[in-house]
Structure 1
Amino acid sequence: MAKNGKSGSKSVTVKQATLDLLRSFGIDRVFGNPGSTELPFLSDWPDDIDYVLALQEASAVGMADGYAQATRNAGFVNLHSAAGVGNALGNIYTAHRNQTPIVITAGQQARSILPLQAFLYAERASEFPRPYVKYSVEPARPEDVPAAIARAYYTAMQPPCGPTFVSIPIDDWAHACAPVEARKVSREIGPEPEAMKALVTALGSAKHPALVVGPGVDRAGAVDLMVRVAEKAKASVWVSPFSARCSFPERHPQFAGFLHASPAQLSDALREHDLVVVIGAPVFTFHVEGHAAIFDGGATIFQITDDPDAAAVTPVGTSIVATMKPALSLLLDLLPESKRATPKGRTLPPAPQAADPLPVEFLLHSLLKAMPEGASLVEEVPSHRPAMQKFMPMRGQDSFYTMASGGLGYSLPAAVGMALGKPKQRTVCLIGDGSAMYSIQALWTAAQRKLPLTVVVINNSGYGAMRSFSQVMQVRNVPGLELPGIDFVRLAEGMGCHAVRVSKAAELGEALKRGMAFEGTSLVEVVVDSAVPVLYGQKH
């Protein structure tokens, strides 16, 4: 008789049961950096599951994040004990903020010597990554490990997605257990019909409605649905602050632009709208203080989110908890064709002119022209994001990825994972010099595998975002903002990458063209004007 969801068939080892589960879940890659407590799991590794070696644990998690987003299935990570989890915590937090499904396992010392506080043991291991994992456990018995990994997978994949964690003692893998059969767990949640009817009524009576789209739309593969809803509603479309994905084509005639993470500037951008519908995003993500006039009652606010926590913290209006596809499909069905005039979208600026020192705007414009059709952009240039939003309009579904956490060191390994998950397309990583140094070793993994990846490093010899904030906050003489003397070409070549350095506008186009066409991983370091960008035009 089966117990606890386990079949009554012949017993297998914990390791075999786990590998069979991974196959059943469609997990064909494991990302990690091996240590002694993981060796029993890694011994006699099977040919049908690819072990992706990262040279540092944060990079392993970042790669798994990018791969999970590319494949829309959970990434699987194997970390080395407490020390490895500690190294990985920054990107675990980013995976939490990105709502990326990842199952993280970590080795633990043998159960027999845990009471002696053995070398490499983790005390209260399941508490270490909390609260940034959805589920965390060190199973009470070895035979419970496969069921714990199955639960971790189902939980990671359930919207809102996110990382989960299982700590596994070194001697558990050889124990006998019953195999665990993979199950089907549905993931879509439909909206409450009456709430959707109220939203449709509000859209019908609004004079100037706005749709604010967030990363949840692209994560759900629902960008085409979003476009159809916007066109039928004849509403302006804005992007939510700090959106980590592209959920609406940025050349669409109804695309209005990007909302600031400043309460005053966001409120000012939305002041003409009498109805604001936030879809797949919080209401709202702010970065600086200030008065949010948007909450004063001048506009009616609705929200559609798959995250009950995001709904719970929304300060005003009506929140509808549902996944994107059923919610947008029902909205599209219920909406009548609007008689409003189609709103005008933003006007793109003219193409920037070449100059020396090289303006970052010219670089971004040139990069967009050089990127092949269907390429994905993974970005970590926080100081240049406003310029990127002006001069690199993204096409929509699966075109753009960045970190939602604000933590550096994510995008380079994430681009490696993205390239693994999209081997027939070019992945482009656009990254700052400061950001790149957090996880530069990810280049080695890309070079070893000859991945179709082009890394463009914007070198302004410092932390540009911090320079800007120093001006906004009116603070002076801040140490640690300058980064002179880093040679990214030598760093890349030392890890097996093709690399070139550009400091003149006349050299840029050809260098980018070669970098995009290179069979394998290529790095283009671009030395740009070090002028301080303005991230927030007003101090609020």
Structure 2
Amino acid sequence: MTGSAPQQNHGQVNEYGARGARQWTVRDAVIDFARRVGMTSIFANPGSTELPMFRDFPADFRYVLGLQEAVVVGMADGYAQATGNAALVNLHSAAGVGNAMGNIFTAFRNRTPLVVTAGQQARSILPFDPFLAATQATELPKPYVKWSIEPARAQDVPLAIARAYAIAMQEPRGPVFVSIPADDWDQPAEPVPVSEVAHTMRPEPAMLERIGALLDACERPAFVVGGAVDRAGAVPDVVQLAERHHARVYVAPMTGRCSFPESHRLFAGFLPAMRERIVELLGGHDAIFVIGAPAFTYHVEGSGPHVPAGAQLCQLIDDPGVAAWTPQGIAAVGNVRLGVQDLLTRAAPKARELPAPRALPPRALPPSSGSERMSVAFALQTLAEVRDPAGVVVEEAPSARPVMQTYLPITRAGTFMTMDSGGLGYGMPAAVGVALARPGERVIALIGDGSSMYSIQAIWSAVQMQLPITFVILNNTRYAALQDFAPVFGFAPHETVQGTDLPGLDFVMLAKGMGCPGERVSEAARLADALRSALATSAPDDGPTLVEVVVA
């Protein structure tokens, strides 16, 4: 790669007919395009078929090394979500893409824009099924990429990357995939023409008029918000619309972002991924407006209606595919922020009574004796009291999430991130990506003990780049989510669930082996001081720390 446009060679005429410029290569054209669109951080784990891409690596680019491909994609996901721009990922042929598929699936569910490239064996030997070749390379990442291609000619690679970027950034955003044979990079190619593509679409005015009229006429509206609200930068607009209508605001099931401040008087709580419970919690509302989320995501088989009797459902979503399977009601498709802003231009609705505020939870108490473990509620309540509410929390502790939603309120847009997919191995590397995107800010990675073992190599990357991340590991020595969920599938009370106990893990030693200092806390009285120390940032390049919290 070259760090700038190819050097002038005066007196010669290249095949473009431009006097004085040497022939561009595929590498030149790809780097030039990536620079123009701001994809100058390359998240990667190296392999032989990718080496030609990185020759003469440009000084203004950054290579972000992950020790396993799932870590690479998780870091890129966090970085892309925090910056709002697509991140460039490079993986190794079929094996690397295979290792990365769990987090590619998560990026797809997160609607994260990623341009994923993968090396391929040289075109000249592909007919001989060579070692490390990716058979049917474009099919491997499907269906969890928006677009997948192996260009027919080397000269087509730069335009394929440009098209991939445009598709990744168009709503609904998501990952795309380009397979690139190793001998393509030095082939001649033309620069990618300068072009601009709109990434958002305004919802249809007629459908917004119907939604606005429904909201104006109803008596007891409820809003259900999802991750697309925060992704679109629409949280202040949704707050304003909810205040205008005196609407209770719930968070949609399995939402990976904070799309409404949880300290707001109109905040009503979180919906579970169960049909009957959703209907029960939304009972009494005559209009339900789902904004930036599916209506609704379910986890277990249910029955009965999707909304309470007498309630009308409407939806504003950036994904036409989601709108297509919405079970009833009306849906407007397009950018969430633009749609909400259009609704705000309507005349003020009739006055409504302000709904009763949500009841505050009781304080979590420390253990009554030294022999008892502290509760997850007490641990998260303590973290909430000592952390900066403007800081980012990246969470992957599924069994603790309901407790977190009660005792660790997220009050600001852009300060919470988790996976929409339910797949583990995302949170620790995503925290690394967020920290890269927000230099000098201390990021909290709140991770379960089981979840952490899927991509714990991310600690090494955080150490090497001296990123201010505090990894908080909730250690309950088990896959608690599975044990808690077992009764839904017919397990008797106290029946053993095979494969869910996790004894013998020492996270302080694991972190120390990668150069990260850590502390294990099992006494409730020590927790606040340990967290304060781990969260303190005295310099922009303070490195990561780890706190292992032993909980019941």
TM range (shorter): over 0.9
Residue among 501, 516, 526 paired with 1:482: 501
| CA displacement at 1:185 relative to structure 2 | 0.9
User: Which letter does structure 2 place at the counterpart of 1:386?
Assistant: P
SS of equivalent to 1:171: helix
Q: 2:195 aligns with which of 166, 180, 183?
A: 183
Measured in 2, the distance between the counterparts of 1:345 and 1:117 equals 65
Once the 2 structures are TM-superposed, how far is the Cα of residue 8 of structure 1 from its aligned partner? 7.2
Of the three residues 185, 192, 214, the one matched with 1:173 is 185
Find out whether 1:333 has 2:345 as its counterpart: yes
Partner SS state of residue 345, structure 2 = helix
**Residue pairs, 1:30-41, within 5 angstroms:** 30-41=42-53
Q: Which amino acid aligns with 2:163?
A: R
Aligned to 1:525: 548
1:434 paired residue among 443, 450, 461: 450
Change (3 A) 1:490 1:527: same
Identify the match of residue 511 of structure 2 among 481, 487, 492. 492
* Residue type of the alignment partner of 1:379: E
Q: Is 2:368 the partner of 1:363? A: no
**Cα offset for 1:232?**
0.8
Please give the per-residue CA displacement for 1:440-486, whole angstroms capped at 9, x wherever unaligned: 00000001111011000000001000010113333233311000000
Contact 2:216-2:349 at 8 Å conserved across structures: no
**Which amino acid is 1:524 matched to?**
V
Aligned residues of 2:258 and 2:416 also touching (Cα < 8 A)? yes
Which residue in the other structure is 1:270 paired with?
282
Question: Normalising to structure 1: TM-score of the pair?
Answer: 0.95
* 1:316-331 correspondence to structure 2 within 5 Å: 316-331=328-343
Counterpart position of 1:260: 272
Alpha-carbon separation, structure 2, partners of 1:473 and 1:202: 40
CA contact (8 A) 1:515 1:522 kept: yes
Residue 243 of structure 1, aligned match among 245, 255, 273: 255
Match of 1:510 in 2: 529
Is the deviation greater in 348-357 or in 499-508? Answer: 348-357
Whether the 8 Å contact between 1:150 and 1:182 is mirrored in structure 2 is: no
Q: 1:486 to 1:216 in 2, by over 3 A?
A: same
Are 2:288 and 2:311, in contact at CA under 8 Å, matched by a contact in 1? yes
When residues 184 and 447 of structure 1 are mapped into structure 2, their CA distance, relative to the original with a 3 A threshold, is: same
Equivalent residues in 2 for 1:277-296, closer than 5 Å: 277-295=289-307
Partner of 1:299: 311
Say which of 144, 147, 159 aligns to 2:156. 144
Tell me by how many angstroms 1:12 deviates. 0.5
Secondary structure of 2:138's counterpart equals helix
Asked if 1:310 is matched to 2:310, the reply is no
Which residue does 1:102 correspond to in 2?
114
Q: Where do 1:453-464 residues align within 5 Å? A: 453-464=469-480
What secondary structure, in the 3-state scheme, does the structure 2 residue paired with 1:245 have?
Answer: coil
Q: Percent identity?
A: 52
Q: What SS is found at the alignment partner of 1:492?
A: helix
> What corresponds to 1:79 in structure 2?
91
Tell me if structure 2 keeps the 8 A contact 1:374–1:425: no
How many corresponding residue pairs?
524
Mapped contact 2:390–2:412 kept (Cα < 8 A): no
- List alignment gaps of at least 5 residues for structure 1: 1-5, 530-540
Cα distance in 2 for partners of 1:119, 1:370 equals 53
What pairs with 1:443-462 in structure 2 (closer than 5 Å)?
443-462=459-478
User: Residue in 2 aligned with 1:3?
Assistant: none
**How far off is 1:182 after superposition?**
3.8
Cα pair 1:270 1:294 within 8 Å, conserved:
no
Match of 1:382 among 386, 398, 405: 398
SS, match of residue 515 in structure 1: helix
Question: Aligned to 1:379, what secondary structure does the other structure show?
Answer: strand
Counterparts of 2:244 and 2:210 in 1: how far apart (Å)? 17
Q: Which stretch of structure 1 is more off in the superposition, 383-392 or 516-525?
A: 516-525
Q: Distance in 1 between matches of 2:64 and 2:529?
A: 32
SS at structure 2 position matched to 1:256: strand
Q: Distance in 1 between matches of 2:117 and 2:16?
A: 24
Match of 2:241 among 207, 211, 229: 229
Instruction: Output the CA distance in 1 between the equivalents of 2:385 and 2:57.
Output: 43
Q: Deviation of residue 238 (structure 1)?
A: 0.6
Using the TM superposition, give the Cα deviation of residue 293 of structure 1 relative to its aligned residue in structure 2, in angstroms.
Answer: 2.6
1:391 aligns with 2:403: no
Which structure 2 residue ranges, 5 or more long, are not aligned?
Answer: 1-14
| 1:387-426 correspondence runs (5 A) | 387-426=403-442
**In structure 1, what is the equivalent of residue 9 of structure 2?**
none
Q: Corresponding residue for 1:194?
A: 206
CA displacement 1:239-272 (0-9 Å, x = unmatched)? 0001110000000000011011111111100011
Counterparts in 2 of 1:24-103, with a 5 A limit?
24-103=36-115
SS of the aligned residue for 2:423 comes to coil
User: Which amino acid letter does the alignment assign opposite residue 546 of structure 2?
Assistant: L
Runs of 4+ in 1 over 4 A off after TM superposition: 6-10
Cα offset for 1:129? 0.3
Give the structure-2-normalised TM-score.
0.93
Contact 1:56 1:87 survives alignment (8 Å): yes
Q: Quick one: distance in 2 between partners of 1:39 and 1:18?
A: 15
- How far apart are residue 373 of structure 1 and its match? 4.1
SS at match of 2:497: coil
Deviation at 1:43, TM superposition (A): 1.6
User: Is residue 360 of structure 2 the alignment partner of residue 348 of structure 1?
Assistant: yes
Question: Shift of residue 297 of structure 1?
Answer: 5.0
Contact 1:274–1:298 (8 Å) recurs in 2: yes
Partner SS state of residue 446, structure 1 = helix
User: Aligned partners of 2:382, 2:142: CA distance in 1, in Å?
Assistant: 43
